[in-house]
Structure 1
Amino acid sequence: MTTIGVLAALGVLAAAGPAAAHVEVSADKNRAGATDVTLTFHGEAENPSGIKSERVVLPEGITPADVTLVKAPAGWTFQATADGFTVGGKALASGKDAEWKVKIAKLPDGETRLSFKTLETYADGEVSRWIEIQEQGKEESDNPAPLIELKPGPSTAPATTSAAPSQAAPPASASAAPVAPTATTPILAEPISDEGSSLWWLWALIALVVAGAGLSVASRRRSSPPAE
């Protein structure tokens, strides 16, 4: 009975082994929108042949150009991919976990849960797929993707102002009040009355009469004989 019990226990542990192995990630700054954030990944060795590479798919809001390598196992190199990056090289010793660090230029604003799907490849070709998104409030899945939970960042929405709309100057109209004369505004002369211009013929007649009378007097003087 004892032998059977021990074997059964070992069988349970063997069955639980693959599910217990994970790839995990942590951040040195745990706030959304933070800049220059170092992420530390830890991949647990599940296959005795040794881990050969780790391929990470970045969450939305982080691009491969935002990521730089900080540290990786000796002999491993960093390579950006279309949707993330890969670190890898010579297979690690059997049972040795993989640990690597990268720097993210900026975490997405408004995101508080970031999942990093990871494919862990071993020297014998086996691939452990840690790609299942963990949903908040639900039990962890069998192959959960590495997850970091962040505190909300400061609001980046621009402040709104309720400035009163500017009032345009009213259009000029014919009924606008007259402008008072100023030092630079010329004052028009008084309008000429039509009464004076309507009597020009009378003045002209008087002038002709006076001229005629003068000519008559002069003529009489020339025609009169001189006194003796």
Structure 2
Amino acid sequence: MTASRLRAVRTSLVGGIAAGSLLLLAGPAFAHVSVQPGTAEKGGYSTINIKVPNEKDNASTVKLELSLDPKHPLVSVMPQAVPGWEVKVEKTKLDKPVQMHGKEINEAVSKVTWTGGKIEPGQFQQFPLSVGKLPTDADELVFKALQTYSDDDVVRWIDASTPGGHEAEHPAPVLKLVAKGSTGPAAPAGKTDGKTDGKDAKAEAAAEKTESTGSDTTARVLGVVGIVLGVAGAAFGVVVGRRRSAA
């Protein structure tokens, strides 16, 4: 094999491997809007975070609209202030009033909207909410989210996920509801030291695993594509090398 042929093959192999590596590294960037932690006790109150990653390289997230589950209205929804962001809480009248702390409640929060801030490329933001009382007759609460970017693109995180089936392209954030005593004390909103205990840690790990399932699948697919491109590049290099040798 001539020196020129060796250089052609080596260049093609390096290029193909580099392409595959970049695609593998790019896979985890495909994250979803999610609820953290992913579980809470039925019939109680909980502090949750709506985790919003920026999935674009050339635009910032500038707005988040979160619609609450109309089938299971929450009479108490209080957002925590997020620096740089303004929050608007909208309420809707209930078809059937509910009793809470001896008072009759005729309306519930239906939508929460955050505007005015920016989530830059490669970053994420958490939007804390205190919610309750959580329903006792449901196993989950679905929050539909609309994520607006600075280029006016709107990603609708509203798709329903099918248990045991393929993950939806844009799944709606879901809060799983479990029996009382099934989870540990919820971590305070905004806590970032990573310290959790017992069942609370398991619940958070389960939520992160669910969120990363689609990312892992995407990474594997893109990795295979990268390998195929590498092989094709190597074959092209061999052909070029042979032609040069023949010449």
Structure 2's unaligned 5+ residue stretches are 1-11, 93-109, 182-247
- Give the root-mean-square deviation of aligned CA atoms: 2.6
Map 1:141-180 onto structure 2 (within 5 A).
141-152=168-179
- The answer to whether residue 85 in structure 2 is matched with residue 58 in structure 1 is no
Contact 2:80 2:129 in 1 (8 A): yes
- The answer to whether residue 13 in structure 2 is matched with residue 4 in structure 1 is no
Residue of structure 2 equivalent to 1:32: 42
Task: Give the distance between the partners of 1:5 and 1:98, measured in 2 at CA.
Answer: 34
Contact 1:32 1:153 in 2 (8 A): yes
* 1:85 equivalent among 112, 135, 155: 112
Identify which range, 86-95 or 111-120, moves more after superposition: 86-95
SS of equivalent to 2:80: strand
Identity of aligned residues (%): 25
SS of equivalent to 2:41: coil
**Quick check: which has more Rg, 1 or 2?**
1
Larger RCO, structure (CA 8 Å, separation 6 or more): 2
- The answer to whether residue 49 in structure 2 is matched with residue 22 in structure 1 is no
Superimposed CA distance per residue, residues 74-118 of structure 1 (whole angstroms, 9 cap, x where no aligned partner): 120111236311112132333221211011131122111211111
Count of matched residue pairs: 149
User: Normalized against structure 1, the TM-score is what?
Assistant: 0.57
Q: CA deviation at 1:120?
A: 0.9
Q: CA deviation at 1:61?
A: 1.2
Residue of structure 2 equivalent to 1:198: none
SS of equivalent to 1:141: coil
- The answer to whether residue 53 in structure 2 is matched with residue 44 in structure 1 is yes
Residue of structure 2 equivalent to 1:183: none
Distance 1:27 1:107, change over 3 A: farther
Q: CA deviation at 1:27?
A: 4.4
Task: Give the distance between the partners of 2:168 and 2:115, measured in 1 at CA.
Answer: 26
SS of equivalent to 1:7: helix
Identify which range, 54-63 or 21-30, moves more after superposition: 21-30
Q: CA deviation at 1:147?
A: 1.1
Task: Give the distance between the partners of 1:5 and 1:95, measured in 2 at CA.
Answer: 24
Residue of structure 2 equivalent to 1:138: 165
Letter in 2 for 1:98: Q
Letter in 2 for 1:24: S
* Runs of 4+ with >4 A deviation: 11-14
* 2:146 equivalent among 110, 113, 119: 119
Task: Give the distance between the partners of 2:127 and 2:40, measured in 1 at CA.
Answer: 18
Q: CA deviation at 1:125?
A: 1.1
Q: CA deviation at 1:9?
A: 5.2
Task: Give the distance between the partners of 1:105 and 1:151, measured in 2 at CA.
Answer: 14
Distance 1:21 1:61, change over 3 A: same
SS of equivalent to 1:33: coil
Contact 1:40 1:102 in 2 (8 A): yes
More helix by share: 2
Task: Give the distance between the partners of 1:133 and 1:153, measured in 2 at CA.
Answer: 26
